[in-house]
Amino acid sequence: MRVPIELLVKKYKDNLFSAAFSICKNAQDAEDIVQETYLKYLKSKQDFESEQHIKAWLLRVTINQAKNIVLSFWKRNRITFQEYMQELPFETQEDSQVFDTVMSLPRKYRVVLHLFYFEDYSISEISEILQVKENTVKSQLARGRKLLKEKLKEAWNEDES
């Protein structure tokens, strides 16, 4: 017995997602696992006895894949942002605070500031890397600096209080 994939997706996607999420505790990983499970079903030449047999097979594949991800080298050796920050060599506490503040900025400002100040790229190089106009890079740098200055002033004013 084979059931069309569209019906299986409608019927079991939430069950499979819940099973995967309960093991890996990450929504993106769980979504990837569910997609991979359906791909395995499509590639499978197995003939199933009933729809219950299909559901059990899908759940078993989902659970096995989730376990594989949890036990993978990448998951076991991943560190949090805070742990990463502690590992970075900063000369002073203020350097660390500036970097942390840059990382808290919106992505478009954070990226250009990081490339400009931490990686020493020029505006034209950043423009090429990000595939945007040089004027866009200049304006994002200016806005990012302004936002960074405001955030640092707030943080330093709080420290002095």
43, 107: one domain: no
- Would you say 37 and 62 are in contact if contact means Cβ atoms under 8 Å apart? yes
102, 144: one domain: yes
Winning range, highest mean pLDDT, from 10-19, 104-113, 145-154 = 10-19
Within 10 angstroms of residue 61's Cβ, the number of other Cβ atoms is 19
Res 139: pLDDT:
96
Res 155: pLDDT:
72
41: domain CATH number? 1.10.1740
97, 153: one domain: yes
Domain of 72, in residue numbers: 5-76
Q: Quote the CA–CA distance of 161 and 155 in Å, as a whole number.
A: 10
Residue 94 has pLDDT above 90, yes or no: no
70, 85: one domain: no
Q: Which residues contact 128 (CB under 8 A, 6 or more apart)?
A: none
134: domain CATH number? 1.10.10.10
66, 86: one domain: no
Q: Quote the CA–CA distance of 59 and 20 in Å, as a whole number.
A: 9
Count of domains observed in the chain: 2
Mean pLDDT computed over 37-43? 96
List pLDDT tens digits, range 140-158.
Answer: 999 999 998 998 888 767 6
Res 86: pLDDT:
61
C-alpha closest to that of 25 among 70, 72, 56, 81:
70
**3-state secondary structure at position 43:** helix
Instruction: Mark which of 76, 93, 108 sits at the end of a domain.
Output: 76
Res 137: pLDDT:
95
Q: What is the pTM of this model?
A: 0.51
Which is more confident, 132 or 115? 132
115, 138: one domain: yes
